[in-house]
Amino acid sequence: MSVQFFTEYPLWFIIFCLTAGGLSSYILYRKGHGISAGKYQSFITFTLSLLRFLSVSIIAFLLLNPLLKFVSNETQKPFLILGIDNSISIVNTKDSITYKNKINEIFNTIENIAGDKVKVHKYLFGKETKINTKPDFKDKQTDISAFFDEILNVYSESNSGGVILLSDGIYNKGNSPIYTIKNLKYPIFAVGLGDTSTRKDLKISNIRTNSIAYLNNSFPAQIDIKSDKCVSQSYTITVYNEDKKIYENSFTPSKNSELNTFNLNIEAQKPGIMHLVAVVSNLKDEITYSNNRKDFFVEIIDARQKILISALSPHPDISAIKQAIESNKNYQAEIDFSGNISSDNIAKYDMIILHQIPSNGSNLKFAENIKNSNIPILFVFGRQSNLNLFNTLKTGLNFSITGNGYNQSTAIVNSEFNLFENSDETKSTIPYFPPLAVSFGNFNITDKSDIFIFQQIGSVKTDQPLICFSNNENKRYGFITGEGIWRWRLIDYDKNGNHDVSNSILSKMIQYLTAHNDKRRLRVYTSENSYNEDENIIINAEYYNETFELVNKTDISMIITNEKGKNYSYNFSRTENAYKLDAGIYSPGKYTYLAKVQNGNNETVKGSFIVKPIQVEYNETKANHELLKNLANTTNGKFLKLDELEYFIKNIKNNESLKSVIFSKKEYRDLINQKWMFFLILFFISLEWFIRKRSGSY
């Protein structure tokens, strides 16, 4: 390490510092300053003068703000990055024991093989990327691109000699690694594992079916069976609903490699989660039987909510509203242009949308019949609406006409609206929507917080509603006060490439209007209806006191039960004002739960969730060495076999590109901030004071 110093001023300014020290010393001690030390007087006077000279000169020098520059050199060894595929497919071969032992041996001894010249950084990749973790080959997904993303972020400017990649080339998560390595600046030495030959295997390669179905309906399922080297060997495909056989078929392949699809219809007989299992028979000498079974789950919904759109004539808004409604799997929309439906038929619906009804052609009685029912209503106003007749319905919103024209009103989100939550994307997109045509006049609503969207006319922001709600006589109403909402879907698609925002607005409005007031004091929410088998089961809970204030002073327990009736008991942990349970990882299957408040009130909540098996590692049994060769060739690396790796590592230290790099590190420090400088000045001043007092000076 070398040390230099410099100042903000020219170094010749030191002359002034020395001059200040000299003058101070001369003025103070030129006449002895009362020192009486006999024959040592001259020596003591000189010593005191020197001490004063040094302390004043140093203090003056510090006023120049001197800096110390420390320069140190650090030698960085070249290093290799070892990446090992930790997925199940590595050991899903006939050479699994050999691979497992050999890879573990390399993981443990690679530093010794490479020698002192090269440092080795060891990684595992599968579902996620880990460093310095011993391989166990249990990951059920393979993401090679995430491994390369990690090393690009960490070692982009480092002295790397390359990446040694041990893999079978099979990936089933993330992006193609070919695209990820475009910015890699060092070579990949790819070691091919697995078998590239086609081996005898019968497997369920894919199942296509609905994620949901409706009670008492049938839904289709398509099961793809891939057979390799199974010519003339008959197999049977069987589907079970839990333990009940619901489908069986047999087939004999006539080709060396063949894909067959079996179509079946399944009856949705009870609500809840249906656990289905597809199984193909095991043939002799298959490479693996792990891919001969697949579990799949379908949620059976009791019934979709039916929504009627009643209008007098076609309008683009009607089509837009219907499409938005049916984007939600829980809703079914019907359109009626008669403008008059019997009371018996009205009762079939969970909600009714009145498009420009009541109109100038009356329809008041029809609207009154709907109002007198318990069905929530969404009113959509337009040029055919008769707002004077609408006022007679007493829905909680009144309109005062001030003219015969229409305002072009754009949308401004009400920041105080709290009836339901909207995403940031929705809030940021709404101001870009085209204006709606709203009648001249004033709308009167009791609570401004029930207004979802205000009108903006030109550049003037108003407190008039464009979309709002009311709760009158324990019945919920919604209002869209203008026409032209069909244009919102067009702009939504133009801006975002989809209709998610416009669909979300209508869907949340309907969800609020059709929702019953939830009076439960204990509420439990699973983060998902289904989890993968490698995901933690996270469950949240809320508890309300008798005045419906959110509290978390009491204990809440939960029992989770699997399909065989085995129970797992837990207690929720408290968060800021609610509860959370991390139940850990569960094996695949269907589970029910019972949450209970431990305060003697017996509040309970029941529910269910499913854990889905991850079987993608068994879908492909043929190693993809072509991918590994492409990775090596693209980066000027090399493709190797596993038995060549040890020899390669031993000789890589002779590679001329692997050289240590010396980095110079510079550090600047203010001299005035150094503690030793303070104690040096204090020493000079204290010594001077002591000698003067000792010599009889004042």
> pLDDT digits over 508-565, tens only?
898 888 876 566 788 888 866 778 888 889 999 988 887 677 888 899 999 999 988 9
Written as six digits, the tokens of 163 are 């990446």
Considering the chain, what is the average pLDDT of its residues? 85
What is the band of 481 on the pLDDT scale with cuts at 50, 70, 90?
very high
d(CA 125, CA 139) in angstroms, rounded, equals 8
pLDDT score of 303 = 66
What is the band of 36 on the pLDDT scale with cuts at 50, 70, 90?
low
d(CA 439, CA 403) in angstroms, rounded, equals 8
d(CA 637, CA 569) in angstroms, rounded, equals 54
pLDDT score of 234 = 92
pLDDT score of 436 = 94
Is pLDDT above 90 for 92? no
Is pLDDT above 90 for 595? yes
Buried b (16+ CB within 10 A) or exposed e, 34-61: ebebeeeeeebbebbbebbbbbbbbbbb
Q: What are phi and psi of 226, to 5 degrees?
A: -105, 130
527 compared with 289, residue with greater pLDDT? 289
99 compared with 201, residue with greater pLDDT? 201
Domains, the chain, with CATH or none: 2-72+668-694 (no CATH), 78-197+622-652 (3.40.50.410), 201-301 (2.60.40.10), 305-514 (3.40.50.880), 522-612 (2.60.40.1930)
DSSP 8-state class, residue 29: H
**Listed range (92-106, 195-209, 495-509, 634-648) with the worst mean pLDDT:** 92-106
What is the band of 631 on the pLDDT scale with cuts at 50, 70, 90?
very high
**To which H or E segment does residue 579 belong?**
strand 579-585
9 compared with 124, residue with greater pLDDT? 124
pLDDT score of 667 = 79
What is the band of 380 on the pLDDT scale with cuts at 50, 70, 90?
very high
Region 437-463: mean pLDDT is 87
- The region, left, alpha or beta by phi > 0 then psi within -120 to 50, assigned to residue 257 is beta
Region 583-596: mean pLDDT is 90
d(CA 173, CA 126) in angstroms, rounded, equals 9
State the CB neighbour count (10 A cutoff) for residue 142.
28
Is pLDDT above 70 for 586? yes
pLDDT score of 33 = 61
Q: 612 and 533 in contact (C-beta within 8 Å)?
A: yes
pLDDT score of 648 = 83
Written as six digits, the tokens of 686 are 């204290």
pLDDT score of 264 = 92
What is the band of 158 on the pLDDT scale with cuts at 50, 70, 90?
low
Q: pLDDT (tens digit, 9 = 90+) per residue, 129-156?
A: 999 888 888 888 899 999 999 988 888 7
Q: Strands 567-571 and 604-612: what pairing? A: unpaired
pLDDT score of 696 = 62
**Listed range (251-260, 506-515, 644-653, 681-690) with the worst mean pLDDT:** 644-653
**DSSP letters along 38-67, please?**
GGGHHHHHHHHHHHHHHHHHHHHHHTT--E
Region 66-73: mean pLDDT is 77
- Cα 210 from chain centre: 25
For the four alpha carbons of 574, 575, 576 and 577, in that order, the dihedral sign comes to negative
pLDDT score of 73 = 67
Q: Strands 305-311 and 293-301: what pairing? A: unpaired
pLDDT score of 195 = 79
Region 310-321: mean pLDDT is 91
Q: pLDDT (tens digit, 9 = 90+) per residue, 322-370?
A: 999 888 877 889 998 876 777 777 888 889 999 988 887 666 778 888 8
d(CA 262, CA 619) in angstroms, rounded, equals 18
pLDDT score of 455 = 92
What is the band of 111 on the pLDDT scale with cuts at 50, 70, 90?
confident
What is the band of 50 on the pLDDT scale with cuts at 50, 70, 90?
confident
What is the band of 286 on the pLDDT scale with cuts at 50, 70, 90?
confident
Q: pLDDT (tens digit, 9 = 90+) per residue, 193-230?
A: 887 888 888 999 889 988 778 877 888 999 999 998 89
pLDDT score of 393 = 86
What pTM value is reported for the model?
A: 0.56
What is the band of 98 on the pLDDT scale with cuts at 50, 70, 90?
confident
Q: pLDDT (tens digit, 9 = 90+) per residue, 485-522?
A: 999 999 999 888 889 899 989 988 988 888 765 667 88
Is pLDDT above 90 for 566? yes
Q: Strands 201-209 and 119-125: what pairing? A: unpaired
Length of the chain: 698
DSSP 8-state class, residue 175: S
d(CA 638, CA 633) in angstroms, rounded, equals 7
Q: What are phi and psi of 160, to 5 degrees?
A: -90, 140
pLDDT score of 622 = 83
**DSSP letters along 584-637, please?**
EE--SEEEEEEEEESSSS--EEEEEEEEE---GGGT--S--HHHHHHHHHHTT-
pLDDT score of 34 = 57
Whose CA is closest to 623, among 145, 87, 223?
87
- Cα 300 from chain centre: 28
Is pLDDT above 80 for 41? no
